[in-house]
Amino acid sequence: MGESAVTAAVLVIGDEVLSGRTPDSNTHYIANYLGQIGVDLREARVVPDVESEIVAAVNALRGRYTYVFTTGGIGPTHDDITADAIARAFGVDIDEDPRALAMLRERFAEADLNPARRRMARIPKGAALVPNAVSKAPGFWIGNVIVMAGVPSVMHAMLDTVGPQLQTGRRVLVESVAAGAIPEGAYAAGLETIVRACDAVSIGSYPSFTSEGVRNQIVLRSRDATALAQAVAQVRLLIDELASHAGQR
């Protein structure tokens, strides 16, 4: 599919996802968002609320990808340890940040700004803040790591703030060809021939089992519109031929 200069990983931080309590919807949302702006999501991980696990994952991912997006663990309770873990991963100090405290004061009266809530103003040294339009407590951006809330509505707002500041690549164009009930095993060889001839196009075959039987889909992705159109035409031809053979039987 050709190389993109701009890549990303998602790191979901949260016991609740691993325990099965909460299905993670953030990875899918971020994957779509990044796709729209030409950033390739290359990996995603879910780790528990354990500082050493977060540190290890952040350091593994930030060395490999242009950006790392984390979600979760930036609230006021004892299990919100993301900011401290990120500071440790970067080897920087962490302390109450006057800018973050000012944001919290937009929501909380001074009497309500107790130590737990002030914890949400702890930001690693050198980080830029990511404002939170929904509930004020900010995320932050340090090095190539962008730290966001786990609550989907808050995360979406943070991503909208960060998005326009990201380096972006050429957007990947996507086309689908419905293979209907033609089995994957019937078109696999023909498809592989097309795949080998079309370096600039990434092609996937995705079965799904519906109440009406198998419904397969072939998905083609490329940054090169001409190469994509040619590959789509070849796949359509392959599928149409197989469909007409099947009809003749």
Minimum CB separation from its own copies for residue 47, in Å?
A: 6
Q: Tell whether residue 131 is a contact of its own copies (CB under 8 A).
A: no
Q: Tell whether residue 53 is a contact of its own copies (CB under 8 A).
A: yes
Question: Which two tokens mark 170?
Answer: 């050429």
Q: Tell whether residue 114 is a contact of its own copies (CB under 8 A).
A: yes
Q: Is residue 121 a contact partner of residue 97, using CB atoms and an 8 Å limit?
A: yes
Q: Is residue 202 a contact partner of residue 235, using CB atoms and an 8 Å limit?
A: no
Q: Tell whether residue 139 is a contact of its own copies (CB under 8 A).
A: no
Q: How far is 72 from 86, CA to CA, in rounded Å?
A: 12
Question: From the centroid of its chain, how far is CA 26?
Answer: 7
Residue 168 vs 205, nearer CB to its own copies:
205
Instruction: Name which of residues 152 to 191 contact its own copies (CB under 8 A).
Output: 153-154, 172, 174, 184-189, 191
Q: Which of 171, 182, 179, 224 is nearest to 200 (CA)?
A: 224
Q: Tell whether residue 220 is a contact of its own copies (CB under 8 A).
A: no
Number of residues lying near its own copies (CB under 8 A): 68
Residue 42 vs 128, nearer CB to its own copies:
42
Minimum CB separation from its own copies for residue 50, in Å?
A: 9
Q: Is residue 202 a contact partner of residue 1, using CB atoms and an 8 Å limit?
A: yes
Residue 125 vs 170, nearer CB to its own copies:
170
Mention every residue, 6+ apart, whose C-beta is less than 8 A from residue 147: 70, 74, 82, 83, 86, 127, 130, 139, 140, 141
Residues forming contacts to its own copies in the complex (CB under 8 A) are: 15-25, 27-28, 31-35, 40-49, 53, 75-79, 108, 112, 114-117, 119-120, 134-135, 151, 153-154, 172, 174, 184-189, 191-192, 195, 202-209, 219, 221
